[in-house]
Structure formats: C-alpha cells, structure tokens
C-alpha cells in the first residue's frame, strides 16, 4: 500500500496505519487511547471548531497562529474528531477556551493519532521491500 | 477535577502512547512507560514548587 493511502486510512481510523501493517495490538491500543481522549474531551465540552476571524479579532499574529495550530491538531484525530463534530459540534473556539480540560484532551487525541501514523510509516519503511509491496 | 489529577491523566495517556511506539519487547515498553510517567510526575512537582516559591 502507498504511504499516502496509509496516511489517509491512519487519519480516518485512529491507529489504522498499524492495522495495515498487521500490528493488531498497537492498533487496538491506539484506537482505544485516541477514541477515549476524544470522547472525554467532547464530554468536557472542549472546542472542536476552526476559529472564525471574528473570534480572533484583537489577537496578535502569533496567538492567531497558535489558535489555528491547536484547531488543526484536533482535526488530526480523524474519525474520532469527525464523530465528535457530528455528535456534539456546537462548541465554538471561544467555548473551547472556557473548557480548557476538554480542549486539551481533544488536542492530545489529535497529536496521539499523528504519533501513531508517523510511527507506522517509519515501521513500514524499515520493513523488507517484499512486505511493503504486499 | 483539579489541575494535578488532570496533569496525571495526561501523563498516563502520553506515557502509554509513547510506550506503544516502535518495535520493542513488552518489557521495554513497560519500562519506558514507567520511566516517562515518573519523569512527568517529578517535573510537575518540581515546577509546582518553583512556582510556589516564586509567587508564594
């Protein structure tokens, strides 16, 4: 499987890139970690939407970049993030600032999924060529 | 939930996730998770005391 397809699947299914490498334990544990962090973040009313320009008004450039990077990090949780948006997508960026615990957990979920994806791609590269093409 | 239990929760999640990475034995993973969790705890406690000594 090509790295781009693997990355897409790994994004959509938390830890899914491990599944494609037949590393079932790592897949199950990452799925559990990312999903539970995302569920807890949603339950704690963390903000899961992209910040609107009106919400960023009056902030300096660096803070705007940090706010947008935080929103991007949440999106990295893939399927869990989409489910959170679908089930409970009313929390704006400003609401998220009020419920910091939830927002932190959502951000962590995204970063954990990115970590899993990067590791799976690294493991794929280290595998023998024959297995890569399978 | 106060800040300390939440920090502990984050430390547990991060330790568990980083221990799962790579191609290691189960024993190495447990050592890695325990080492990172302990390091996070020590850093949190040290940071808390430093802030307390600075701000009172």
Selecting from A37, A101, A123 the residue whose C-beta is nearest the C-beta of B1 gives A101
pLDDT band of residue A131 (cuts 50, 70, 90) is low
Complex ipTM value: 0.84
Q: Mark yes or no for CB contact A30/B17 under 8 Å.
A: yes
DSSP-based three-state secondary structure for A101 = helix
C-alpha distance from B27 to closest chain A C-alpha (Å) = 15
Interface list for A 39-98 with B (CB within 8 A): none
Q: What's the whole-model pTM score?
A: 0.87
Distance from CA of A50 to the nearest CA of B (A): 23
Indicate the pLDDT class of residue A110, thresholds 50, 70 and 90: very high
Instruction: Express each pLDDT in A55-95 by its tens digit.
Output: 888 889 899 999 899 889 999 998 988 888 888 766 677 77
Mean pLDDT on A96-101: 79
Give chain B positions within 8 Å (CB) of A119: 21-22
Half-sphere exposure of B48 (CA within 13 A, CB side): 9
* Cβ-Cβ contacts under 8 Å, A30 against chain B: 17, 20
pLDDT digits (tens, 9 = 90+) for B1-56: 788 899 999 999 999 999 999 889 999 999 999 999 999 999 999 999 999 999 87
């Amino acid at each position: 499987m090509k790295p781009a397809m693997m990355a897409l699947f790994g994004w959509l299914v938390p830890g899914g890139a491990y599944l494609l490498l037949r590393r079932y334990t790592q897949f199950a544990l990452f799925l559990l970690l990312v999903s539970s962090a995302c569920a807890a973040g949603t339950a704690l009313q963390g903000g899961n939407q992209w910040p609107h320009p009106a919400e960023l008004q009056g902030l300096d450039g660096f803070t705007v970049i940090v706010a947008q990077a935080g929103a991007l990090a949440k999106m990295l949780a893939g399927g869990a993030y989409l489910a959170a948006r679908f089930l409970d997508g009313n929390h704006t960026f400003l609401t998220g600032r009020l419920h910091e615990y939830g927002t932190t957990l959502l951000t962590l979920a995204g970063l954990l999924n990115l970590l899993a994806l990067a590791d799976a791609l690294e493991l794929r590269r280290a595998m023998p060529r024959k297995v890569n093409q399978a | 939930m106060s800040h300390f239990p939440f920090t502990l929760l984050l430390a547990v999640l991060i330790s568990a996730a980083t221990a799962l990475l790579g191609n290691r034995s189960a024993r190495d993973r447990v050592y890695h998770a325990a080492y990172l969790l302990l390091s996070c705890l020590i850093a949190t406690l040290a940071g808390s005391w430093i802030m307390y000594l600075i701000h009172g």
